[in-house]
Structures are given as C-alpha cells and as structure tokens.
Amino acid sequence: MLPLDHAGSFNGKELTMDTVTTAAPNTSLRQRMLQDMKMRGLGEHTQKDYVRHVRRFAAFLGKPPDSATVEDLRRFQIDQHERAVGPATINGAVSALRFLFGITLKRPDMALGLVVIHYAPKLRVVLSVEETARLLEAAPGIKYKAALSVAYGAGLRVSEVAHLKVDDIDSTRMMIRVEQGKGRKDRNAMLSPHLLDLLRQWWREGKRRGVMLPHGWLFPGRNGTDPVSARQLHRVVQEAAARAEIHKRVSPHTLRHSFATHLLEQGVDIRVIQVLLGHVNISTTGIYTRVSSKTMRAVTSPLDQIVAVMEGRAPPG
C-alpha cells in the first residue's frame, strides 16, 4: 500500500498496491522518494517541486503513481498540452517523474516516452538604477530595507537572503557567506561598505527590539527562532513597488536580475558576474546580455551607417 501522500489513503480513498516490494513496512512512496532526493543532494525547493508534480500525476491517475503504465504517462502529457500547461511546468513534471520511476521505483524504462519541451526563456524583468533606488527607499522599515538591499547589493536569491545568519556577514573580508545555495553549494557574495552600514543599522535596531539572537538569523521571522519567509519578502517587494509607483511585475528575484544587469552595464566581466551569482554555466549568466540596454546601445544600427553614407559622412564605427 504505497500512496504518495500518506500510507493507506489518497484523497480520502483507500488504494491498495502490490507492485512495489522493495519498500519497508509502513513506508510511503512519498517518504522513499524524499529519502532518495536527500541522499542525492537535491535542494529543499526541488524536493517540494518534485513531490508536487508527482502528487498532480497521482491525482490525474486516480490511483497510486507506482501502478502507472507507459500509456498513463503518455495520457498525462497529452492532457497537459491540451490544457495549455506552460513549458516550464511540463518540464518540471518530466524531471520529477523521471526521478520517481528511474530512481525510487527502479523502472527507468517507464520514463523513456516523457517529452521535454525546448523553449527560449522569457526576458528577465529588470529595474533601472533609479527605479531600484525608489523601491529600496519604499521598503517598510529598516529590516526590510536591509533585506532587499542584500538581494540587490549582493545579487542573492530570495531563499538565500531569508536564510542568512548574523555570522555570515564577514566585515573583515567584506564578504557575505552563502551556505547551501542553489544546488546545495556554498559561495561568497560581495559586501559593499554601504550595505555593511545598513546591516549594522538593522543589527542595532534588532538588538533593541530583542529579536536579534546570538548566532541567529539575520532576518528573523515573527517568532524570532525561524527566518523570515520567502513569501513575506515577495509581499514586501510588491508593496514597496506599489509605493514607489513601479508598474513592472517585480519580485525579490527582480533585484537579483537588476544586480547582474547593472554590473554588466558598468563593464564588469561576465565571468565575474557568473561567480557572484553562483551560476555553474556561463550560458546561464549570458541571459543578461540580452537585457542590458548599454550592450544594445553600443551596437551601431546598419541604418545609421547607410544614412551616414547617403549624407557623405564617415559611417559610425
């Protein structure tokens, strides 16, 4: 009996299974999959995504996913296309199901028919320097101004900002230590003098409020023992954008995109930006060359060259 969510039931219905014999007694398929993901070093967000995708597959089947057939997988993918599910979601489901059948269930042949969609990622939304300044100034209070300034000033992901600890701020080396970032990798991020000053202001205020614990979270949540949630930081960014009258669709990740783009426009080598962002492949960082206005302005349009020739001037070089 191996339903995805709880042993013995799925969506309130009894489901019996005898296709998997390798599970320990009373161990759910979900637990086994989580164990497999942890052993292979998959991050917390990836684990949650995989479980969510497999749960949706189980809901589509109406039975435990380990009883699925190759035809069931085909029907599931056809249903996704008919419902106009986005490419990123489809590909996420493919990755999750490949892991489920290939690793947890030891049935790699099941996933051979799963089809990945190749698509060009959308251009990142990027704020101008002036818009970024307005958004940070509109943050509600020193805590969130400091948190959003870390996202922009160091180019951190929202989960990385939320899980910073006081001891991660190295004022001697002027670096921020990021532990277990995406891909469960550690790295150092840049710490500017202005950002350090802002963090010290928040540290003093947090101590005054009694929420800044020794060796604790740099941005604690409401109870002080847990970090601020990524959801709360998303909400704060959107509220600040509304106050700053910024009408672009923004999120904490927009600040990370803007950090990379602004560095590129300052002439910073893209390989340096790659290291600062924690990207494994330079191609991932290369997306920012597509949104850099300075990069586009540096290219001379062929129309300008033609007009220069027609007017008897030397074509712009």
For the residues of 241-294, what is the DSSP string, one character each? Answer: HHHTT--S---HHHHHHHHHHHHHHTT--HHHHHHHHT-SSHHHHGGGGGT-HH
Asked if 228 contacts 202 with a C-beta cutoff of 8 angstroms, the reply is no
Residues 6+ apart with CB under 8 A from 218: 164, 165, 166, 168, 169, 199
Question: Has 53 been annotated as catalytic?
Answer: no
Say what the pLDDT of residue 310 is: 65
142-164 residue pLDDT tens: 999 999 999 998 889 999 999 99
Asked if 187 contacts 164 with a C-beta cutoff of 8 angstroms, the reply is no
Where do the DSSP E strands lie in the chain? 169-170, 175-178, 187-190
**DSSP 3-state assignment of 9?**
strand
Say what the pLDDT of residue 4 is: 43
Tokens at residue 179, please? 């532990």
Question: Has 184 been annotated as catalytic?
Answer: no
Say what the pLDDT of residue 10 is: 32
Report field, pTM of the whole predicted structure over 0.75: no
Say what the pLDDT of residue 14 is: 36
Residues 6+ apart with CB under 8 A from 113: 70, 73, 74
Question: Has 288 been annotated as catalytic?
Answer: yes
Within 10 angstroms of residue 3's Cβ, the number of other Cβ atoms is 24
Q: Rounded to a whole number, what is the distance in angstroms from the first to the last CA of the chain?
A: 72
Statement: 29-113 belongs to CATH 1.10.150.130:
yes
Catalytic residue among 53, 163, 262, 279: 279
Say what the pLDDT of residue 20 is: 37
Say what the pLDDT of residue 267 is: 81
The contacts found for 165-174 with CB under 8 angstroms, 24 or more apart, are 165/215, 165/216, 165/217, 165/218, 166/203, 166/212, 166/214, 166/215, 166/216, 166/217, 166/218, 167/215, 168/218, 169/196, 169/199, 169/218, 171/196
Amino acid in position 143: K
Q: Which residues pair with 188 in a beta bridge?
A: 177
The CATH superfamily label for domain 129-297 reads Intergrase catalytic core (1.10.443.10)
- All CATH 1.10.443.10 domain ranges of the chain, comma separated, are 129-297
Say what the pLDDT of residue 284 is: 60
- All CATH 1.10.150.130 domain ranges of the chain, comma separated, are 29-113
Rg of the chain in Å (alpha carbons): 24
Say what the pLDDT of residue 3 is: 38
Question: Has 253 been annotated as catalytic?
Answer: yes
Say what the pLDDT of residue 283 is: 60
Catalytic residue among 32, 256, 257, 262: 256
Catalytic residue among 143, 157, 257, 262: 157
Asked if 224 contacts 213 with a C-beta cutoff of 8 angstroms, the reply is yes
Asked if 58 contacts 10 with a C-beta cutoff of 8 angstroms, the reply is yes
Chunk the chain into consecutive blocks of 10 residues (it has 317) and report each block's average pLDDT, rounded to whole numbers: 36 37 54 93 86 94 91 94 91 95 93 84 81 93 95 91 94 87 70 92 93 91 87 95 94 90 82 78 60 53 60 64
Q: Which residues pair with 187 in a beta bridge?
A: 178
In degrees rounded to 5, what are phi and psi of residue 300?
-85, 125
Residues 6+ apart with CB under 8 A from 235: none
Pairwise CA distance, residues 73 & 75, whole Å: 5
In degrees rounded to 5, what are phi and psi of residue 227?
-75, 160
Catalytic residue among 63, 165, 182, 187: 182
